[in-house]
Amino acid sequence: MSQQPVLKNRRTLLERAEKFISEIYFTDCNLRGRLYGDSCPLESLASFLSSKRITFTEASKQNFAPHKVGDTFGPTWWTCWFKVTLNIPDSWRGKEVHLLWESDGEAMVWRDEQPVQGLTKEGEKTSYILSDCLKDEEPHSITLYVEVACNGLFGAGEGSMIAAPDPNRMFSVQKAELVVFNREVRELLTDFEMLIDIVKELGEGEQRGYQALFTVNEMVNLCDPCDPSSFSKVHSLAHNFFSQRNGESQHNTHAMGHCHIDSAWLWPYEETIRKCGRSWVTVIRLMEKNPEFVFTCSQLVPGTLLPDSALCQERPDAAFQLRFFNHEFGIHCKEFWLPDTFGYSAQLPQIMQGCGISNFLTQKLSWNLVNTFPHNTFFWEGLDGSKVLTHFPPGNSYEMKGKVEDLVKTVKNNKDKGRANHSAVLFGFGDGGGGPTQLMLDRLHRVRDTDGLPKVQMSSPDRLFSELQADSALLCTWTGELFLELHNGTYTTQAQIKRGNRQCETLLHDIEIASSLALCQDGTFQYPVEKLQELWRLLLLNQFHDVIPGSCIEMVVEDALRYYEDIRRDGSTLLHNACGALGSKGNSAGVFNSLPWERHEVIQIQDGAGKPDLALVRVPSIGLSPVKDTQPGTQVSVSIQADGTILMENGILQTVINKDGTLASLYLISANREAIYDSCYGNQFIMFDDVPLYWDAWDVMDYHLQTRKPVLEVVQPVRVVSSGGLRGSVSFTLRISDKSTITQEIVMDAMCPYIKFNTEVKWAESHKFLKVEFPVRVHSPSATYEIQFGHLQRPTHRNTSWDWARFEVWGHKWADLSEHNFGVALLNDCKYGYSVHKNTMTLSLLRATKAPDANADMGTHHFTYAVMSIRCTPDTVPWNAFSISSAAVILETIKRAEDRKGALVVRLYESHGSSVTATLCTTLPVREAWPCDLLERQDPTQPAHITSEGIILNFNPFQIVSLLLIL
């Protein structure tokens, strides 16, 4: 150390060290200014502009025109290819030589027809290493190609990151030259940076922070930026500090390179493919130089390992990805790795376990707006009691940079101190891709075991969870859903995506059932394996957490809606073919029921002249029936009252409809109960102001509830459309504003226990939220909502901050508010946002956000129901393939087994929250029945119990049971 005593003014010493490595101040004489040595211009730079994303082979054949640094190119989403010719000076022999490249577009370097390096200024990747140490035998004259996407790491938002893209934005290359890179300077800069950060992060109360301060000050004293011979002594000082080790009790961090790439978000699906290429090739180069480096990838495209959003209802079929991993890498994933999703269903633990997954990692609940989640490492218990080991990285990020700040936050924020002594540190640029850098690896290498900081080890998910599991005796358990107290506007944004998702889930569900039955009925029928997989993958792709929530740009919405149309078109053909094989090719109408209970409903058919007509049909569960002309016990009656209201009745329900379409009464005849609350009206449309704090498409804030404005202006008063018989209906039109209207048909069918509201909304609002309210005569402290394979309850009061944070919640096809022996259910065909406060049930209908899609939800919306009819001969005998003895058990899926011909897989779940024994009856020729997991792996030790009545099954509350049926 120097002979002079070190001054104790912390601020001056700290700022002195900061200025010594500053990119802004004193670069003429500080260390940062020596990072690059000599430089020389490129031999030539030429470019070619394409409106499409083309291959390297195609691009290399184009005519390239001379290009100057600073010239602009574009517009947004185009691609500019550069041909770079360079000649490295012979005098740079023995030097590290880089191509320095700075552009506001994302770039990929191609060399010898291969991708070799991603370059993204926002991702701190601005140089490509041409040579680590230039030798005479190396080529000095080189031609490279650089593919530059006309978008940044986070798209091209106009004015802010999440704003709608600027379609006319132009891009440029700000720097393109050859430079000598001073590796020793880079190493010293990292030493300085880490020590300075230790000083700042440990603060004035820690002795270790002052040791770092005095060390870095002495390093400045010893370092002469103009004299490389001084560098080794300076580096030794830093090394001695970093080598002072921790004790055995210090917290252990498991550092893993990470690169979260949104399947689509502020950029379209097609650009994601290139983001993956730029990121993966960079990671591969890092692995070649750093043998200890471990990299984790959060998902595959298309599809997610498990539902990537709470809004997804599809079967829990992880086979698409798990089979891929098995086939390509020979491994079975044991982790559900989902860093960035807007809430987690209470059924996920059971679904994970059913796929052989025992560990779960996410980070998103650290975004909670109201309440801080109390754990980082814990057991998560699902709806049925299944448990999985769960870890939330305490640093609250899945894109750390390997800095001291990340390590200190990881220890400081750990809410399970004393229970868990291991945590994940996920480092690398994410969301838009990019991933780790060499600098991040160098930072972490410096402080692998440095006193005052947690221990750092390059690790893997398996190693992390093994350590956590081995010391899990004191871990707490969280039961139920992991509800994100933010982004609850995504339950409603982009209504057409929500509608497409719901309809396509139902369609693929029906195709699998119909095809499975046709396979058993018709020996010539070919189960559409490949086409079904293609359609499922398209649907799963759109279930990514910035597509199905509607938090994406307009280009992505257009892609998603096109995929839904592809699924509808091709799926309708598959369903028609399967239903044709189930019946004969006659000309009389028949009905196929894909649900596991008998249905007695009014449907629309065509009469002999091809005109629309109505019929009341009764169809057995999972079965087929001809349309027979039956009459209901009580027909629907519709009458206009003296006060202008309309009374409709079908023997089950009686309702009174006001002139403005609101319900004055909804009366359940058998129970002698009125459902609408005193002096209130049901079916009341409400408008709210909807201006969140920042995340426009994502968030709706609690204060929006203070802006409630009923929609009252009547354009067309209620009038009778259908006067009764099998169906009665009325319609009316309301004006929301001078730009938006609601037209609704209220329908009552014979034998139907509910009233339907077929709605058309012409919507042209800005930052408004449309909902519909039903104040009901029910008092209950909780409401019940359908989720995947079950339901859960949430409070209707706001006693605590946890209750209040659920002012807008998600659900699937229904929400229910019940007291003993009476209740009201709110059903929907394509909505996901609900609110039940006290006795008012609310369904969220439409939002009008402007970022990142300036045109989100503008246009005409329909909320409709549909029943599909098929053709069959008049003498077809009604038959059913499956029935279940207990109303509590739902037969959800019937499909052909993935890896076994002549076998079906059926999936059932207990829906009431009860323990029950049920009998599954089938008319199919089942020879054997075996329990299997969600990956369809048979349990050979426990054959199903088959009796003359059927297959006996035992269920715990909300349990999912899968069976492999050998035909």
β-strand partners of 932: 938, 962
Structure tokens at 85: 């010719």
How far from the centroid of its chain's Cα atoms is residue 593's Cα? Answer: 32
Q: How far is CA 643 from CA 412, 646, 656, 729, 750, in A?
A: 68, 9, 11, 18, 25
Give CA–CA dist 754/632, Å, rounded: 16
Cβ atoms of 542 and 497 within 8 Å: the answer is yes
Give CA–CA dist 709/686, Å, rounded: 6
Cβ atoms of 610 and 896 within 8 Å: the answer is no
Report the 3 state secondary structure along 750-793. CCCCCEEEEEEEEECCCCEEEEEEEEECCCCCEEEEEECCEEEE
Please report which helix (H) or strand (E) contains residue 568, including its range: helix 554-582
How far from the centroid of its chain's Cα atoms is residue 659's Cα? Answer: 43
Which of 191, 197, 317, 340 does the annotation list as catalytic? 340
Q: Determine how many CB atoms are found less than 10 A away from the CB of residue 878.
A: 16
Cβ atoms of 255 and 401 within 8 Å: the answer is no
Give CA–CA dist 420/595, Å, rounded: 46
460: phi then psi, degrees, rounded to nearest 5: -135, 160
Structure tokens at 715: 């354009």
Give CA–CA dist 299/69, Å, rounded: 37
Structure tokens at 21: 């490595």
Structure tokens at 703: 């204060």
The edge-to-edge listing of strands for the beta sheet with 477-479 is 335-337, 359-361, 387-391, 377-381, 477-479
Residue type at 225 in one-letter notation: P
How far from the centroid of its chain's Cα atoms is residue 764's Cα? Answer: 27
Cβ atoms of 839 and 817 within 8 Å: the answer is yes
**Catalytic residue flag (residue 132):** no
**CA 697, 700, 705: angle at the middle one, nearest 5?**
150
DSSP per-residue string spanning 332-359: ---EEE--S-S-B-TTHHHHHHHTT--E
DSSP per-residue string spanning 694-751: S-TTT---GGGGGG-EE--EEEEEEEEEEEEETEEEEEEEEESSSS-EEEEEEEEETT
What positions carry a catalytic annotation? Answer: 340
